[in-house]
Structure 1
Amino acid sequence: MQMIIVDDEAHWVDNLSMTKPWHKLGIEQVHKAYSAREALQLIETNPIDIVISDILMPEMSGLELIERIREKDRRIKCIILSGHSDFEYAKQAVKHQAADYLLKPPTDPELFGAVQAAIDELNAEWESVGSLERTLFTLRENLPVLRGQLLLDGLRGQRLSSGEWERKLESYGLPFREGECAMLLVRMEEEFGQYKNNGQQLMEYAVMNMAEEIFGEYANVWGVKEDHGYLAFLLQANDEKKRGGGADALLEKLAMQLEAKAKQFLKGSLSVVIADRFRFPDELSVRYRQAVDYFRQIVGDEKEFVMRASDALGQTEQKPLDALYMPPTLIGLLEVGRWDAAGQKIADVCAELDDHWSESWEHCMEAGYAIASAFAYAAHRGGKTLAALIGDDMEAMRNGEAFDSIGKLRKWALGALDKLKTGTSSDVKDIRSSYVSKIQAYAEANLHLDVSLRALAEHVNLHPTHLSKIYKIETGEGISDYISSLRMERACRLLRTTDKKVYEISAEVGYLDPAYFIKVFKKQYDVTPQEFRDGQ
């Protein structure tokens, strides 16, 4: 631990810092400051744990110093020294969370006792950081975010097993279970647009609170702001008796109440779509997409609507491809180079086309152009054109032949993916080769200087471990083996073609100790450098 002693009277600071056995308490370093400003500068640059400060100092008092410290770090323990037993001073010290308040001059037991108490408190606080209690507290603090993200994942169609759903619902304290649920999508209309930044978030929070208050007596409520800007609410009856024939009418009545209360108290209008009842969590993403479609196709730009999705939209024969848009997306997989997963994604899309849309050319075309778009994005991201990477397959895409049938789409997409992978892998290999060339050129030019792994890594701005792996992959040997070989080869050439002394050659090839150079050389060639020269 580190401590700082602050007082405008230098003798006090020097005496307390230099004559007391602080090391016995575990204090590794004691800093000295002769003003509050100097103390703040030291605190900025050193990990101070404890501050012992006089209360009365020019420019800035000890109490003001504590206040400034508290603005940046609430864990530092502050002990006040004062020549006055003034109750007001003591009260202010308590207000600013001083660890102790001692009268000058304190006895050693008083001073050491105060510092030991501060150390014990610090140790207890840091131990609690890693404790289960602290972990649970952090979880509770972040529960709104975790709950919202879980619902978003479900709306987006992320697949979780029933066991995973059950575990997460329980961990996050959500009283939902597998079974019948209802869903509301709420659109906050343009009146709310006047609120910017945090103001908009506050309005969203207010609407969510209203929804929980209004629907809470009837159902458990779980809400989140989804990707399109709607507020999505999942509702599950909190009592079996509240289900049944009248539940839908009650839900619609409560939704109208939510719209009315928002207009009355928040001065803004809402539009609400109530989705058909469904089984949670299996049908969550399907029912959510239907509600979003309903908003787009039926409600549109109209405002202050409270409608049930099933009232107007029947079961449409045409539906989007689930596998195509289900996370992780094809673009996302290509972006991180997960080639096998990208191939499986394409296979899943084609399998869904086979199973459900074998007669729909539109769905085949939809999938084809989405896949082609992802390929183009990946190519451009790598600084290439798609045509340069997939060659002849580009023409089949350009004239639409690749999308004539599911079979052609499957063959074209997997073939183009393979070429994309090969082209990208070639780029990676080129980059690796470039690194190898750079470090070899640098080593050859600077063999007499520092050509350690760290020096070479700094030259090409890579981490030493990363560079070592790249070099091994590209050349099949380690960098240290290459440097040793380079030194011996150059030493042999200099011995053959020059009359330089052995110690001069030793320095030129990077060995500062000629004796060590001779030892390494003999181990390599079974003769000393001089014997090698004589033999030539």
Structure 2
Amino acid sequence: MQMIIVDDEAHWVDNLSMNKPWHTLGIEHVHKAYSAHEALQIIDTHPIDIVISDILMPEMTGIELIERIRIRDKKIKCIILSGHSDFEFAKQALQHNAVDYLLKPPTDKELLDAVKTAIDQLNAEWETISSFERTQYALRENLPLLRGQLLLEALHGQRMPSDEWIRKLENYGLPFEQGECALLLVRMEEEFGQYLSNRQPLIEYAIINIAEEIIGEFMEVWSVKEEHGYLVFLLQLKENKDDIGEETILEKLSSQLQYKVKQFLKGSLSIVITEWFNFPEQLSDRFRQATTYFRQIVGDEREFVMRVSDLEQNTAQRPLSSLYVPPTLVNLLEAGRWDEANQKLKAIFAELDDQWSESWEHCMEAGCLISASFTHLAHRNGHTLVKLLGNEIEPLQSGEAFTSISKLRKWSLGALDKLKEGTSDEIKDIRTQYVKKVQEFTDKNLHLDVSLRALADHVNLHPTHLSKIYKLETGEGISDYVFHLRMERACYKLKSTNKKVYEISMEIGYTDPAYFIKVFKRQYGVTPQEYRDGNK
């Protein structure tokens, strides 16, 4: 856990942060803030769990600080320190759900006990949030979506170890076992086109319900709609239904489904059924065969029930499975997952070497998709592929890259490195621009709000993201930069102008001159007036 101690009196902050055994309570890091504004900046950039704050501070009280904290994060626990045993202060602290209200100076026991109470409250709250019952409830609420997504991933070739399949089937409440299954693909015909798009899901839901009612008496049913519009049903015989005629039962049930849908929903269905196969190993292959059957064999026919068994699959015409298994190459590139994109390419070429070493068409299939993915990334970032690849574009333009697997492999991996290099340079340029904008805005508006949140709003970034970018590029935090700029500006004005200390304080963003004097002295060891006198 992380904690922050806030007080305008530096000796209190330094003493409490460095001289107490916080590690014994599990506190990993103790941040220090000498004003409420500085505390809010730290809270915006770090995962703070507990705040210990003085109640009377210039610019913002401890109660006002808690109010600001509650807007940001209601789970942060706050402990108030005060030099006054004022009932009204204590009442306000309790109204804002402060863990404790301690009088200065607190004993070590009082302080550690208060922090221990805060930690216990946090642990109890997070245990409730992550409890098994809550997880189970969320799982039940999202179960149809999760089941559908799992089946879609499996249909498209996502592989999982056997024990992972067993675990997911059990967690999702799916009464399927690894073993014999069949697929039933349903296409809704043109009569259903009369329904508006917002009613289409209701019709699909109704068809799925009818199918589960008819087929569910004999088989376990797992359904999903895939991206080409087919309703897909994975079927497995129930344990006590071994004698129902496995070879003909699917045709009979499919005909009943067609009849009931026509009777009640006034539309026709076309249905393709696969042979029984071993689930999950052969699932994606059988799904691909069934969709191919719809496209190539059935054509424009309507309202049929057909089996895939008569289709002779020409293995030379199968696509490269590794190209299309999620996550796809284009998705990895968009996410900037360069190492995984490299592994994806290697998997594609391993399949080419192993299964399609003599097939120029499969080499071309891979090359077209790889080059299209690279081009998409370039265009998405506002560039041309020619600009990012330089001379590496020539084998693609001449077609040389497609002439053999080895040449395509060499070009693809080299081009990927070029893309990574070009994109990384662009990201660095963007980060530099953000730093420049922040510094220019701060320089011109030092007398206004230049907090981390205000600067983040100015450049349209999240405060945490801006803080990381700035630290990465400059080596210092934004609050450090603002503070040093204020101090440098103060020194310059003290030496070069006759403005009063309170005027300089306002011009550099300190609304409380007393607080400015305290900060200045902590930085330079002298007050602003002493600094001015010493530089006359």
C-alpha separation in 1, matches of 2:503 and 2:142: 67
Alpha-carbon shift at residue 135 of structure 1 (Å): 6.1
Describe the SS at the equivalent of 1:221: strand
Is the contact made by 2:182 and 2:277 (CA closer than 8 Å) also made in structure 1?
yes
Describe the SS at the equivalent of 1:196: coil
Give the structure 2 partner of residue 366 of structure 1.
365
Give the structure 2 partner of residue 191 of structure 1.
191
Is the contact made by 1:502 and 1:514 (CA closer than 8 Å) also made in structure 2?
yes
Mean alpha-carbon deviation: is it higher for 253-262 or for 507-516?
Answer: 507-516
Identity %: 65
Pairs within 5 Å for 1:86-125: none
Describe the SS at the equivalent of 1:224: strand
Is the contact made by 1:218 and 1:242 (CA closer than 8 Å) also made in structure 2?
no
Q: So what's the TM-score if we normalise by structure 1?
A: 0.69
Deviation by residue 1:130-157 (Cα, 9 ceiling, x = unmatched): 9866765664454433332322222122
Counterpart check, 1:212 vs 2:208: no
Alpha-carbon shift at residue 522 of structure 1 (Å): 5.6
Give the structure 1 partner of residue 230 of structure 2.
230
Give the structure 2 partner of residue 323 of structure 1.
322
C-alpha separation in 1, matches of 2:496 and 2:136: 74
Describe the SS at the equivalent of 2:248: helix
Pairs within 5 Å for 1:7-26: none
Paired letter, 1:365 = M
Q: Cα 1:264–1:473, aligned 2, differ >3 Å: closer, same or farther?
A: same
Counterpart check, 1:154 vs 2:154: yes
Q: Cα 1:146–1:502, aligned 2, differ >3 Å: closer, same or farther?
A: closer
Question: Could you say which structure has the larger radius of gyration?
Answer: 1
C-alpha separation in 2, matches of 1:446 and 1:138: 47
Alpha-carbon shift at residue 323 of structure 1 (Å): 0.7
Q: More relative contact order in 1 or in 2 (CA 8 Å, sep 6+)?
A: 2
Pairs within 5 Å for 1:279-358: 279-358=278-357
Mean alpha-carbon deviation: is it higher for 253-262 or for 357-366?
Answer: 253-262
Describe the SS at the equivalent of 1:391: helix
C-alpha separation in 2, matches of 1:344 and 1:461: 34
Q: Cα 1:143–1:489, aligned 2, differ >3 Å: closer, same or farther?
A: closer
Is the contact made by 2:495 and 2:535 (CA closer than 8 Å) also made in structure 1?
no
Paired letter, 1:463 = H
Give the structure 1 partner of residue 401 of structure 2.
402
Deviation by residue 1:391-440 (Cα, 9 ceiling, x = unmatched): 11122211111222222222211222222222222222222212211121
Q: Cα 1:237–1:458, aligned 2, differ >3 Å: closer, same or farther?
A: closer
Q: So what's the TM-score if we normalise by structure 2?
A: 0.69
Counterpart check, 1:424 vs 2:423: yes
Is the contact made by 1:495 and 1:533 (CA closer than 8 Å) also made in structure 2?
no
Describe the SS at the equivalent of 1:248: coil
Q: Cα 1:463–1:222, aligned 2, differ >3 Å: closer, same or farther?
A: closer
Paired letter, 2:191 = E
Mean alpha-carbon deviation: is it higher for 414-423 or for 368-377?
Answer: 414-423
C-alpha separation in 1, matches of 2:483 and 2:180: 72
Alpha-carbon shift at residue 162 of structure 1 (Å): 1.9
Describe the SS at the equivalent of 2:460: coil
Alpha-carbon shift at residue 302 of structure 1 (Å): 0.8
C-alpha separation in 2, matches of 1:452 and 1:145: 42
C-alpha separation in 2, matches of 1:514 and 1:257: 86
C-alpha separation in 2, matches of 1:256 and 1:430: 63
Describe the SS at the equivalent of 1:247: coil
Alpha-carbon shift at residue 291 of structure 1 (Å): 0.5
Q: Cα 1:132–1:531, aligned 2, differ >3 Å: closer, same or farther?
A: closer
Q: Cα 1:404–1:523, aligned 2, differ >3 Å: closer, same or farther?
A: same
Deviation by residue 1:7-33 (Cα, 9 ceiling, x = unmatched): xxxxxxxxxxxxxxxxxxxxxxxxxxx
Q: Cα 1:261–1:497, aligned 2, differ >3 Å: closer, same or farther?
A: closer
C-alpha separation in 2, matches of 1:468 and 1:147: 40
Pairs within 5 Å for 1:28-67: none
Is the contact made by 2:218 and 2:241 (CA closer than 8 Å) also made in structure 1?
no
Give the structure 1 partner of residue 479 of structure 2.
480
Q: Cα 1:261–1:520, aligned 2, differ >3 Å: closer, same or farther?
A: closer
Give the structure 1 partner of residue 441 of structure 2.
442
C-alpha separation in 2, matches of 1:453 and 1:415: 41
C-alpha separation in 1, matches of 2:486 and 2:134: 57
Is the contact made by 2:158 and 2:326 (CA closer than 8 Å) also made in structure 1?
yes
Alpha-carbon shift at residue 374 of structure 1 (Å): 1.0
Give the structure 1 partner of residue 454 of structure 2.
455
Alpha-carbon shift at residue 296 of structure 1 (Å): 0.6
Alpha-carbon shift at residue 289 of structure 1 (Å): 0.7
C-alpha separation in 2, matches of 1:326 and 1:139: 26
Q: Cα 1:247–1:315, aligned 2, differ >3 Å: closer, same or farther?
A: farther
Paired letter, 2:438 = I
Describe the SS at the equivalent of 2:438: helix
C-alpha separation in 2, matches of 1:359 and 1:274: 33
C-alpha separation in 2, matches of 1:440 and 1:357: 57
Structure 2's unaligned 5+ residue stretches are: 1-127
